[in-house]
Chains A and B, each alone.
Chain A
């Protein structure tokens, strides 16, 4: 009997030890990110002081605006939603070794395709119409990822160039479509509203937070699962980390890269569809203030890890939603938010600097 208890005790101890070593590992991994964020806020405070504002008041207003009440939280998550999609898009392609910097364009075509399906059908039940529109968005985004993928596979065209250029194509093509063939009457460049049956429900009235956030969160889990637990994810990671060895191991690099870029595009497209179906209920020209680019930054700030992406996207969403409140309450110009975002990115992108600072601070164990 005593033997058994002892065994159980040892087992529990082992489990705990594993848990804590895992926790330490994770913390160690995200510590540079956390420090980068803190450093950015500190540098932002200096900017605020120099321009004659109180950092405490400004940041206080920002925090209250972003998380102080249900409305703020709703706005924060509304702002975070599309960035989660585009950040996951960047992350997925990146895991296969590709730089998809065209999430902006994939988001736009996805949004437009969803709008098109939303407008074109009437009288469908929601449970048919919504998936149809979402699917259209994903397919359009996927197509926008497939083009650079096939150009890379067949002609060796670098995806950084092609994805970026295709973003402009998407911008102008949707711009034309929304200004001419599909323009709703009136002076705004927008399509007519989508059928109510294609609308994603708002889940936190009166904010614009829609069910798209749920899809985003599911996608975070799905991305993690795909990369870590599936055969395909294994292949994608192998290709990204060492294509030559992956090839020796019988993995088709071409196939893996094409699929990864298509999936990446589809994720961004789905994000566009979510915006159109959940927030705007139509395609409005210029509805994206650069979600695609924010996605890239968020993916990096999130440590190229799906869960990290979720957290980083919420941070960026909070900066946007809280920033507006901060401006209204304290008169601090909204530009400080852009400065903060830029600083976060700068500090995250400068891991050498962070490591150096850590070393000076005595955290020697981190730099190894």
Chain B
């Protein structure tokens, strides 16, 4: 048996870190190989090296048994390696077929596009790999899962035999994940090799034949999927035991903290995004909002935090109407917000850890004296305390947040928002892009806040997360709450259907 990929002793050092430390990585021909690891473990760097985006300091790469010099993606493509990035690189206004042939256009007389020939070619591909897509549909009209299929087709069309899928399930519904898995298995049957990058243990175990686990730039395990159990794998990956379920201390109160009444809003394009949303969140409760991204979650959070105007309806906090309150006033009322995109909304990357930790409290005593001067002594002590309490891994409080890892950055946000003594926390995709360790930490903190009496609104596209944390689960679909379920009386399947717009059975 020949190997599809063999990487020997790959070392890659960046100014401050060893991203890959003598990594040996072997992928057999025709297998689905999982590359598992926390964020910052070196998965992406390794794959970038394989795809010619980065050059290793040391080490050799063999493709199909032959040593190669991987100097650019063009070389990788020529050698039959294709990569589907986490963020799709499609042209939304072009059709599926146009996107697939882009960059490898066939022409008549060297001038005119030979659309028919290309359509036929692409159609052949779809049939061969059982990837069903409407070739004439513009890409922007397609759901994410289908767009991903287009990306895969694109790579295959360029002659890929070895397909790298970078975190392919992070944007999909459970049903779409199933579809993807079917497609990946079909690819395997056709003799293709797939490298499946992920930090989601369950998925890697479900789909892969063999798994390589990275931790801090080193290979810490290479296992066969059918001989491994979840818990062991998690330990290998993180380096210690991991908590998957949270003991819920359910305290029943009907002390409503947040209540929305017929809440409506429009999105940036002026189209209705929220079409009359009603729900309540009580103290000592986590209400999870499940849904596929783009169904109004972003707008809901923005309306609740005062960043977007409600066109209709009311928001009540402790029975006070705050519909017209500014973001600043809402912070003062005790609403904390963990934004879905920490780079965009959560942090000021060029500010130091200390400066970021007081954002939102910077204009309140004791941090300000008469709302004029900042009291750096108090701020500095506060920052030091939070860095300690929340184990923020930073050289010191004056380090710009930009230099920190994603998980650490999220810790900064969480530390800031949770230390304000909030009565309501709005957490939007709080663990997105975080590794297992950081995810566990954030979830634990959310539960802790709930146990202390906070009302928590959790918005997440990760159904597992909603499942693990929520006391009640609301499903949002096309700007409406279509159901509110008790997690003990529903199933993943039912929620998945509701998220996809189906009726619950």
Evaluate contact between B344 and A245: CB separation under 8 angstroms. Answer: yes
Number of A residues, CB within 8 Å of B: 20
Q: Give per-residue flags for A242-257: 1 if the beta carbon is below 8 A from chain B beta carbons, else 0.
A: 1011111111100000
Q: Give per-residue flags for B228-263: 1 if the beta carbon is below 8 A from chain A beta carbons, else 0.
A: 000000000000000000000000000000000000
Given A248-B307, A252-B326 in contact, is the A242-B349 Cβ separation under 8 Å? Answer: yes
Measured CB to CB, the nearest residue on chain B to A246 is: B348
Distance between Cα atoms of A241 and B344 in the complex (Å): 11
8 Å CB contact of A252 from B328, B350, B373: B328
Interface assignment of A275: CB less than 8 Å from any CB of chain B = no
Which residues of the other chain, A, contact B359 by a CB distance below 8 angstroms? 238, 245-246, 249
8 Å CB contact of B362 from A229, A235, A242, A252: A235
Evaluate contact between A247 and B346: CB separation under 8 angstroms. Answer: no
Evaluate contact between B346 and A245: CB separation under 8 angstroms. Answer: yes
Interface assignment of B8: CB less than 8 Å from any CB of chain A = no
Given A235-B362, A242-B347, A242-B348 in contact, is the A248-B372 Cβ separation under 8 Å? Answer: no
Measured CB to CB, the nearest residue on chain B to A232 is: B372
Q: Give per-residue flags for B333-374: 1 if the beta carbon is below 8 A from chain A beta carbons, else 0.
A: 000010100001111111100010001101100001001111
Which residues of the other chain, A, contact B15 by a CB distance below 8 angstroms? 368
Shortest C-beta distance, B100 to chain A (Å), equals: 35
Which residues of the other chain, A, contact B498 by a CB distance below 8 angstroms? none
| Residues in B362-401 with C-beta less than 8 Å from chain A | 362-363, 368, 371-374, 376
Shortest C-beta distance, B64 to chain A (Å), equals: 37
Shortest C-beta distance, A225 to chain B (Å), equals: 9
Evaluate contact between B374 and A234: CB separation under 8 angstroms. Answer: yes
Which residues of the other chain, B, contact A241 by a CB distance below 8 angstroms? 348-351
Distance between Cα atoms of A247 and B346 in the complex (Å): 10
Evaluate contact between B326 and A249: CB separation under 8 angstroms. Answer: no
Given A231-B368, A248-B307, A252-B326 in contact, is the A238-B351 Cβ separation under 8 Å? Answer: yes
Query: Which bucket holds chain B's interface residue count?
Result: 20 to 34
Given A234-B362, A238-B359, A250-B331 in contact, is the A245-B372 Cβ separation under 8 Å? Answer: no
| Residues in B291-338 with C-beta less than 8 Å from chain A | 305, 307, 326-332, 337
Given A234-B362, A241-B348 in contact, is the A247-B307 Cβ separation under 8 Å? Answer: yes
Which residues of the other chain, A, contact B329 by a CB distance below 8 angstroms? 250
Evaluate contact between B371 and A248: CB separation under 8 angstroms. Answer: no
Evaluate contact between A247 and B348: CB separation under 8 angstroms. Answer: no
Distance between Cα atoms of A368 and B17 in the complex (Å): 13
| Residues in A192-247 with C-beta less than 8 Å from chain B | 229-232, 234-235, 237-238, 241-242, 244-247
8 Å CB contact of B305 from A238, A248, A251: A248
Evaluate contact between A231 and B362: CB separation under 8 angstroms. Answer: yes
Evaluate contact between A250 and B328: CB separation under 8 angstroms. Answer: yes
Shortest C-beta distance, B18 to chain A (Å), equals: 16
Which residues of the other chain, B, contact A250 by a CB distance below 8 angstroms? 326-332, 360, 363
Evaluate contact between B327 and A248: CB separation under 8 angstroms. Answer: yes
8 Å CB contact of B339 from A230, A232, A248, A252: A248
Evaluate contact between A238 and B348: CB separation under 8 angstroms. Answer: yes
8 Å CB contact of B345 from A231, A245, A252: A245
Which residues of the other chain, B, contact A246 by a CB distance below 8 angstroms? 348, 359
Distance between Cα atoms of A314 and B470 in the complex (Å): 63
Distance between Cα atoms of A248 and B373 in the complex (Å): 22
- Best-surrounded residue of A230, A244, A247, A248 (most CB of chain B within 10 A): A248
8 Å CB contact of A248 from B345, B362, B363, B376: B345
Shortest C-beta distance, A17 to chain B (Å), equals: 13
Evaluate contact between B326 and A245: CB separation under 8 angstroms. Answer: no
Distance between Cα atoms of A244 and B305 in the complex (Å): 13
Shortest C-beta distance, B353 to chain A (Å), equals: 14
Which residues of the other chain, A, contact B307 by a CB distance below 8 angstroms? 247-248
Distance between Cα atoms of A61 and B203 in the complex (Å): 76
Shortest C-beta distance, B498 to chain A (Å), equals: 30
Evaluate contact between B346 and A248: CB separation under 8 angstroms. Answer: yes
Distance between Cα atoms of A102 and B305 in the complex (Å): 36
8 Å CB contact of B363 from A231, A242, A368: A231
Distance between Cα atoms of A237 and B362 in the complex (Å): 13
Distance between Cα atoms of A232 and B350 in the complex (Å): 17
Shortest C-beta distance, A221 to chain B (Å), equals: 15
Q: Give per-residue flags for A10-42: 1 if the beta carbon is below 8 A from chain B beta carbons, else 0.
A: 000000000000000000000000000000000
Contacts from B to A (Cβ < 8 Å): 15, 305, 307, 326-332, 337, 339, 344-351, 355, 359-360, 362-363, 368, 371-374, 376
User: Which 10 interchain pairs have the tightest Cβ spacing?
Assistant: A250-B328, A249-B359, A249-B360, A250-B331, A242-B348, A231-B368, A248-B345, A250-B327, A241-B350, A241-B348
29 sampled A-B residue pairs with Cβ under 8 A: A229-B374, A229-B376, A230-B373, A230-B374, A231-B362, A231-B363, A231-B371, A231-B372, A231-B373, A232-B372, A234-B355, A234-B362, A235-B363, A238-B348, A242-B348, A242-B350, A244-B344, A245-B339, A245-B345, A246-B359, A247-B307, A247-B345, A248-B305, A248-B327, A248-B360, A250-B327, A250-B360, A250-B363, A251-B328
Taking A237-B351, A241-B348 as given, write out 20 further A-B residue pairs in contact, using a Cβ cutoff of 8 Å, ordered by the A residue number: A229-B374, A231-B362, A232-B372, A234-B355, A238-B348, A238-B351, A241-B349, A244-B345, A245-B348, A245-B359, A248-B305, A248-B327, A248-B346, A249-B327, A249-B359, A250-B328, A250-B330, A250-B363, A252-B326, A252-B328
